[in-house]
Amino acid sequence: MRPPRDLGWRLDPRLADDTHPVTNLELSELRLMDDANHPWLILVPRIEHAVEWIDLDAEQQAALTREIDRCSRALRTAFQPHKLNVAALGNQVEQLHIHVIARYREDIAWPRPVWGSATALRYKPELLIKRIELLQAALAD
């Protein structure tokens, strides 16, 4: 795959405000949602003006699919969830981004979607560092 065309790419400020960087993958910037209620990753393809899945070419779509798989497996390894939720909504933030969320039967929103179910519980600095390190290790496997 050719490198992302990210020269003009900028992370939407709302995503920047609500997430923390984890790592850069082949196509996407991987970020952790600032909500300790759920292990919740956000993949943001570094493709300028990408709003919808169909804005990516076939090669980029394949790369993003591999990244979703990799992140899903990392969440399963690190957190052993009952269910993994994968979604691309974009109703509030147009920039294409994919949510990969570890869910538990006992989590605050179960069985409802996480959006609008509870106030975000911001990470305390020490837990944030541990969670990012755990995710980075799981992604390296």
37 in any annotated domain:
yes
Q: What is the pLDDT of residue 117?
A: 85
Secondary structure element (H or E) that encloses residue 17, with its range: helix 13-18
Q: Is residue 134 part of a domain?
A: no
Share of the chain above pLDDT 70, in %: 95
Beta bridge partners of 44: 29
Distance CA 121, CA 105 (A): 18
Give the range of the structural domain holding residue 66, as residue numbers without chain letter: 13-109+117-128
Of 3, 36, 24, give the one whose Cα is nearest residue 125: 36
> By the 8 A CB rule, do 38 and 113 touch?
no
With respect to residue 23, please indicate whether it lies within any of the assigned structural domains: yes
What tokens were used for 134? 């755990």
Q: Is 125 helix (H, G, I), strand (E, B) or coil?
A: helix
Q: pTM value? A: 0.93
The answer to whether residue 42 is domain-embedded is yes
Q: 102-115: per-residue pLDDT in tens?
A: 999 999 999 999 98
Number of separate domains in the chain: 1
Q: Which tens digits make up the pLDDT trace of 64-113?
A: 999 999 999 999 999 999 999 999 998 999 999 999 999 999 999 999 99
Does 38 reside within a domain?
yes
